[in-house]
Amino acid sequence: MGFVYYGNYAEYFEVARVEALRELGITYKQLEDEGLLLPVYSYSIQFHQPAYYDDNLCIKTCIAEMPKARIHFAYKTYSEKNECLNEASTTLVFLNANTQRPCRAPSHLLNVLTPHFKESKR
């Protein structure tokens, strides 16, 4: 059909959230080294328009609220013409790697995020 396969977006969003955290100075490796895992709890997507093979896509990623035991990411995928192709969200759970039980978000992540939320309330 020439469209980007819908299942590929889950991988695109994974890369987008890894890079969003990296821009904040947090890496998945660092979290895993601290004994934290972040499995996906939920994933949803709403398609507006298709992307086509070989399109250059831009995915804007947002952490919409301060994490607790879960972290919510929102995504918007844009075409080269700046058309919104889809909107999606994922929720991940912070798990203690040893106990496999949910735990709170690490304080260093909350410290990095806090100024962004204070600025948005002004």
What ranges in 1-122 are assigned the alpha helix state H?
Answer: 8-23, 28-33, 107-120
pTM: 0.91
> Residue 36 forms beta bridges with which residues?
96
Range of the structural domain that residue 102 is part of: 8-120
Residue 3 lies in a domain: no
Per-residue pLDDT band for 122 (boundaries 50, 70, 90) equals very low
Work out the burial of residue 90: count CB atoms within 10 Å of its CB; fewer than 13 is exposed, 13-18 middle, 19 or more buried. Answer: buried
Residue 109 lies in a domain: yes
Q: How many Å apart are CA 110 and CA 46, to the nearest integer?
A: 29
* Coil, strand or helix at 80: coil
pLDDT digits (tens, 9 = 90+) for 29-79: 999 999 999 999 999 999 999 999 889 999 999 998 999 999 999 999 999
φ and ψ at residue 27, rounded to 5 degrees: -115, 155
Q: For residues 13 and 90, is the Cβ–Cβ distance under 8 A?
A: yes
Residue 1 lies in a domain: no
Q: For residues 57 and 15, is the Cβ–Cβ distance under 8 A?
A: no
Please tell me the total count of domains within the chain: 1
In CATH, what number is assigned to the domain containing residue 105? 3.10.129.10
| Local structure of residue 48 (DSSP, 8 states) | S
Radius of gyration of the chain (CA): 16
